[in-house]
Chains A and B, each alone.
Chain A
Amino acid sequence: MSMPDTTLEPVRGWTHRFRANPTSWLGIVLIVAVILAAVLAPHISSFDPLEQSVGDRLMAPSAEHFLGTDSFGRDVLSRLLHAARISLTIGVLSIALAMVLGSAIGVAAGYVGGWFDSMVTAILDVLLSFPTLLLGLMVVAMLGPSIENLVIAIALTELAPFARVVRAPTIVLKSRDFIEAGRALGFSDVRLVVVHIIPNLLSEVVVVASLWLATAIRTEASLSFIGLGVKPPTATWGGMIREGFENILDAPWLAVAPGIAILITVLGLNLMGDGLRDAIDPKARRD
């Protein structure tokens, strides 16, 4: 191995730390597996996830139906794989929305400061004090259940952490010399924020996104479980657990299979997020 290089560039530094961490690899393997399963769903299981077959109700796992069938005779494996598409899409979209809105709010609060900052911080504190599920429930109840509304609801519940995480470093960055130097070069506030402050916040935002993506997927599953998510017959993990619950004693695989799918996804995201966070930890970073 080479000597530790004190002028190691930060980018190489954190990717190296990330790669050196075995649990972050485990996380990536799990996530990649889930994504592949979602993308390749029709090739893995040839059954239509929506096709009912009354004669084949509640079949135990077999060579034909790897995970058995549900109470409508639908293939559980097919439903599970197609549900992964829905869950991942909703999770990613809602986190993307939360990331953009939350970061914008946090940067604005930190950069503008003063009473605006105090007001935004107070509102964020209120948002953060609500349990995620309760807040999502309220929003979906107001907007009505649909995929779009679900995305909006989950985004709203997870916007506060982004705003919080981004606000503090914005305050630090805006008093840094290179921002003052940019001002002395005649750069507008918009340019200073977009070109000079936001790129410096990306590492923090990415870590929050990877950690909260897991929560987003869990929230989606919870909302679907209580019937406020995507409407049946579309397969979602939360919805499958709910349906499987009715037959939990006769056909436990109906609820267990989607439960394990959620577990794998959330675990994978958390492991990857933790790995990222440790790698980008400011204490380990030379600044």
Chain B
Amino acid sequence: MLDVRSLTVEFRSGGVWHPAVRSVEFAIARNETLAVVGESGSGKSVTALAVMGLVPAASGRVAAGSSIRVDGRELVGLPEKALDEVRGNRVAMIFQEPMTALNPTMTVGEQVAESVRVHRGLGAAAAWSESQRVLDQVKIPSASKRMRDYPHQFSGGMRQRVMIAMALACQPAVLLADEPTTALDVTIQAQVLSLIEDLKKEFGLGVLFITHNLGVVALVADRVAVMYAGEIVETANVSGLFAAPLHPYTEALLASMPRVDRDISAIEPIQGNVPSIREVGVGCAFAPRCRLAQDRCSRERPPLSRIDDTRTVRCWVRGGTA
């Protein structure tokens, strides 16, 4: 449904174009959740923005040769107007910060109705009742009354539900969720996650779920793509990834995760930092922090090698052995 091929996104810094996302490839099928995991600066949000066609034109661009297809339709190179039709209609996005992602001067009902009016050409009355239907669907209690309220009268979790309602109002095929629960309380997080899961099943959505929280990944994802310094370094089924991480970065990421069944001293922080997009060298981007690094790793960039039908890994050491 969503098919991304050799996506490269570059940003200009000091007159030079630096890639923030490098030849990223993934596909999401109907009724499937792909979680994209990575540290801050790994390029996961930029990937989502690129899919939405929202890379800021002043400083960034999607490089030639990139391909983003939704339902077989190529989005890269589409004019703004044609993109506006796809955005919100076939592909929708929910954001991290529900507190600021709603217009403070419009009622919640109007904001959901707006998207329906724009994309489906419904009249005000029809859009309003459609808005109520969608708000019911995302389980806003007494939606017909609450939809006349303004965003500041809603709690964070309720606002995120409204965001989801806005995103789903036009029944998109693909939903991009950029850390949708990071700003929420843990109890509310679980509610919002299960709501997204329910809606995915109900509408057969393809969901791209961006997060840095591995606990959330285990909960929602079918497949996982681990990103590091703008590259996908490993893709796997969620069970496979947690059972046997292949890439040393994935391994380190899992080891750095706090767990109830282990002592706090067992947490191993990953030494060093993600290289900035200007510093990525010729070799493997993770090599400077990798405990398995060999000579070759800093000289040549490893390809994404295919381990089996569900698994790929970008590593000289681990890629060839299996």
Residues of A at the B interface (CB closer than 8 Å) are: 7, 9-10, 114, 176-178, 180-188, 191, 195-196, 199-200, 202, 287
Q: Is B251 an interface residue (CB 8 A)?
A: no
Question: Are B54 and A199 within 8 A (Cβ)?
Answer: no
Q: Which residue of B lies closest to A173 (CB)?
A: B103
- Enumerate chain A residues within 8 angstroms of B52, measured Cβ to Cβ: 183-184
A10 to B105, CA, bound (A): 10
Is B197 close to A, CB under 8 A? Answer: no
Tell me, yes or no, whether B320 is within 8 Å of chain A by CB. no
Q: Which residues of A contact B163 (CB under 8 A)?
A: 181
> B46 in the interface, Cβ–Cβ < 8 Å?
no
Centre residue among A7, A178, A182, A195 by max chain B CB count within 10 A: A178
- In the assembled complex, which residues on chain A have CB atoms less than 8 Å from the CB atom of B152? 7, 9-10
The chain A residue with its CB closest to the CB of B151 is: A178
A287 partner residues in chain B, CB cutoff 8 A: 104
- Given known A7-B152, A9-B150, A9-B152, contact A185–B118 (CB-CB < 8 A): yes
Tell me the minimal C-beta distance from B233 to chain A in angstroms.
Answer: 27
Please determine whether B54 and A183 come into contact, CB atoms closer than 8 angstroms: yes
Residues from chain A with a CB closer than 8 A to the CB of B119 are 186
Would you list 15 pairs from A and B whose C-beta atoms are within 8 A, ordered by A residue? Answer: A10-B104, A176-B100, A177-B100, A181-B102, A181-B166, A184-B88, A184-B95, A185-B87, A185-B92, A185-B167, A186-B84, A187-B88, A188-B81, A199-B103, A200-B104
Which residues of chain B have a CB within 8 Å of any CB of chain A?
52, 54, 58, 81, 83-89, 92-93, 95, 97, 100-106, 114-115, 118-119, 150, 152-153, 163, 166-167
Cα–Cα, bound, A287→B83 (Å): 32
Please pick, from A177, A186, A199, the residue contacting B118 in the complex, using a CB distance under 8 A: A186
How long is the Cα–Cα vector from A10 to B166 in the complex, in angstroms? 24
Q: Give the interface centre of A114, A180, A202 by most chain B CB atoms within 10 Å.
A: A180
Separation of A1 and B302 alpha carbons in the complex (Å): 70
Main secondary structure of the interface of A (DSSP, over half): helix
Which A residues touch B89, using CB under 8 A? 186
Closest to B98 in A: A177
For B95, the chain A residues whose CB sits under 8 A away are: 177, 180-181, 184
Q: Is the CB of B105 within 8 A of A183?
A: no
- How far, in angstroms, from A141 to B115 measured CA to CA in the complex? 50
State in angstroms the CA–CA spacing of A215 and B243 once bound together.
74
Which residue of chain B has the shortest Cβ distance to A199 in the bound complex? Answer: B105
Q: How many angstroms from the CA of A196 to the CA of B115 in the assembled complex?
A: 13
Q: Judge whether B100 and A185 touch: CB under 8 Å.
A: no
Most buried by A among B54, B89, B118: B118
**Which residue of B86, B87, B104, B150 contacts A183 across the interface (Cβ within 8 Å)?**
B87
Q: How far is the CA of A186 from the CA of B118 in the complex (A)?
A: 8
Residues of B within 8 A of A183 (CB): 52, 54, 87
- B92–A184 touching, CB < 8 Å: yes
Provide the residues of chain A in CB contact with B167, threshold 8 Å. Answer: 185
| Contact indicator A185/B153 (Cβ below 8 Å) | no
Are the CB atoms of B101 and A181 closer together than 8 Å? yes
CB distance from B89 to the nearest CB of A (A): 6
Given contacts A180-B54, A181-B166, A186-B87, contact A191 B118 (CB under 8 A): yes
* Nearest B residue (CB) for A11: B150
Closest 9 CB pairs of A and B: A185-B88, A186-B87, A186-B88, A177-B101, A199-B105, A177-B100, A184-B93, A186-B84, A181-B101
B119's closest neighbor in chain A, by CB?
Answer: A186
Given A183-B87, A186-B85, A186-B88, do A178 and B103 touch, yes or no (CB 8 Å)? yes
